[in-house]
Chains A and B, each alone.
Chain A
Amino acid sequence: MDLIFNAEAAGSGAGHAEEALQLVPASSEQQLMLLAVLFLPLIGFLLTGLVGRRLGERPWIISISAVLISAALATILAFSALTSADPVRYGFTLYTWIPVGDLQVDFGFLFDNLTAVMLIVVTWIGSLVHIYSIGYMEHDESKWRFFAYLNLFMFSMLLLVMADSYLVIFAAWELVGLSSYLLIGFWYKRRAPALASKKAFLVNRVADHGFLVGIMGVFLITGTMNVLQSFELMPWSETEWWIVDIVILLLFVGAAGKSAQFPFHVWLPDAMEGPTPVSALIHAATMVNAGVYFIARTSPIFALAPETMLLVASIGIFTAILAASIALTQKDIKKVLAYSTLSQLGYMFAALGVGAWVAAIFHLMAHGFTKGLLFLGSGSVIHAVHEEQDMDKMGALRKKVPITHWTFLIAALSLSGIPPLAGFFSKDAILGESFIFGWTPVFAIGLVVAGMTGFYMFRLMGKTFYGKSHVDPEVEPKIHESPRSMTVPLILLAIPTAFLGLVIGLPLGDAVIFGWLDPIFAPAEEIMAIHGHEYVIFGIDGALILVSVAVASIGIAVGIWFFGFFGLRARLDDVRALTARNRLTRGLYTATYNKWWFDDLNDRVFYRFGGAVANGVMWFDVKVIDGIVNGVGSVTQRIGDDVRHIQTGRVQNYALGIAVGLIVIATLFILLAR
């Protein structure tokens, strides 16, 4: 079936916004800009990687200019798409990557409002993280390598969000995995980052396997690798429904791995061993959103499998509460943020699962800016207290790092869901829609998680910025605010964190972002039979907002009560008393502090048991398989050793052999010929 390249249909599509979006060919300017957005970071990576060592003290010049230009172009593209009256969807094929018989994979681009939103998140946060890294990596010897890797990551992530075929998306998927691996293990001489990068890579490999098989399944069912074509062909395939379900489930496994959903969540907290800008960019704001983006991109396919959607929602909300519970007790500032990221990603998956597609992408955006800011802020804090990450050795930093503190406070409030910050709008959209669509358990658990979010964020704030100082007395006098290259990105990120919701989250019920993204998710919503409902601010919807804000406020209040806030004193002794009061609280505390022992479980199951199985298999391989192979070899050798005595090297012996042979043959001939 041919893809419909019909400019006329799209041109007259103003009145038919509800009908399927038509793909129009991109104009040559659009093509050029898309190519520039994608390939500038790649050029930056190659140049910095090749000659970076010679750039001396400023190896970031090339990579930062590449990313900034790319971001500017992406912004122009995104704004022209988002502000146009009709929903936009254009694309073009750069060249045919793999032409083999029936399998034809194009290296093509697809641009619509979803891509535009992702481009804004990726390029803006990416640029700010690049600038921030100038200050953060100032004293690192091989910072050119760092900037080269960052550019490679930007290229991979942009390819992931702009590609129009499953195979290219998969390639980009692996590329972001590679750059994540390289950046987590950036300080590869230390043991912990090296191990963490390996863990991240291996866990992702397991999930990517599912992804790859899922892609093959889509190809077998639809016969195409093109994302848009598969949307058209998938519903009409005559494949059994359960096979379709399994294929979609496998795609979900890949998405869950990249977005670190249970049971693949174990790699993300360890990934915090990497430099903090990497944690902000890759492991909070962009790469871990790849799974959410992929499910949103292929929403018409996921909508075909209600069973898998149920699983997406369950896994998502389970991860949300599991990670939030672990975040309550962690001592490492980055670990708290890492588990918080997991928890928020769980929200997004839950939103995808219940069919609140736009809310999921909205939360992706809001959380991307917020969590990027939080991580960069935590980097600034860690920098200030001389590479100390343990929150028990911080405290009372409010006045010493004022810019960091204020931006951090905005982000913490946003993440907790306090209006009118960005996180409030997106989280409220998720909770509200899951309730309206009848997913009460998701709503209830989500509400609990919202309360926990408020608590752990203000526990973090209290332990870090307020109360008494527990900083090492030697470091204490040297604490200072970070350089301008680090504080400016913090301030710039605080702007969308504060105002994003007001800009695109209003008016409630008919927000701007819904206008942008609804046409993209219309096919999926049609399949799932989701219908828009009348938004009643002085009714059910207003009540839902009040409930979620109230719960978040309770969480914040409890956090402040125990850990202090500005002038309020902390009650750390009460916390200690509470966790030690009886067996239940003590047990809960130990359990969440030890991350519910998932790492130990993995250690038992995969390292010990799996290792034993692998050893058994290796024994079989070494003793039996190799034994057979080597046996054949040594037997042949021994026979050869004996038989070679026949070869005397004397002509007469050979001639005799020939003569005797001739006689034997002649005799046989004479005898048998009769």
Chain B
Amino acid sequence: MKICDLGPLVSTMNLNDPLITALHILGNTKGHYRVVVVNEEGKVHGLIIGRRLLEILLGRRGSSIRAKKGFESVLQEPVNLFMDESYQIFPENTDAETVIKYMVENALGHVILVDQAGAYKGIIEESCILNRLRGKRFGLQTRNIMSENVRIIDPKATIRYAAQTMIDNRVRRLPVTLKSTIVGIVTASDIIRHIIRQEGKTGKLGLSDVARILDEGVAKVMSQNVHSIQPDSDAGEALDKMVNLDVSGLPVVSKEGQLFGIVSRVDFIKIAKLKGVSTIVEMMA
């Protein structure tokens, strides 16, 4: 199995495209958290992720240009100035086991594939691997792979606070709880989508528009229909549920409704560590 058999071609943008294009791509494409940035020849130059965009919207990145030229100018600057370099680029003919081994060893959520000339050929993300593992059972409980240290927020919190919490804790989703009961879940993509929708309504995205949106309550953007998984269910059931519902993570909740942790797509890495990469690759074949 060659690794490029696995990977979907996620959205790309040109390095000279304005930053706002990245917001549009992530705001309008469900299930995408990263945009690969390429040059005119299609060569990979880097990538921009949802959390980075939140940082820019909150003024925690891009602050120098923002101070000199204003917020709206930041959105019109080339994405090249704000993106991250990618240090996980592999030749497209690399075999699946190698790439998965690399992702597992280094706890990475993605690897970018290029051809001989360095042109973008695809990205291997957690979701490609989960798709291949659909229906599989591992003899491991979800509690064995979940993260226990869960950041939560109150439904009365603002979108700004949610975004800040995501940035500070380097996470992309937060359960929203009321008296220990989960009433929603909010992701970086939800916030970006909400902002882009507002732009669609008014045709512009100024600093005051963003400030107003960020001061809205998080309840406005969270998903209220929260799907969860029980801690003693097989880890495979958790992966299936994420694939079938097209969500990037699930709260792990007891029968009594108590929040135990959170499981996300990237936790397939923990399964691979516990079961062995070769076993996982065989299961994917």
Partners in one complex: no
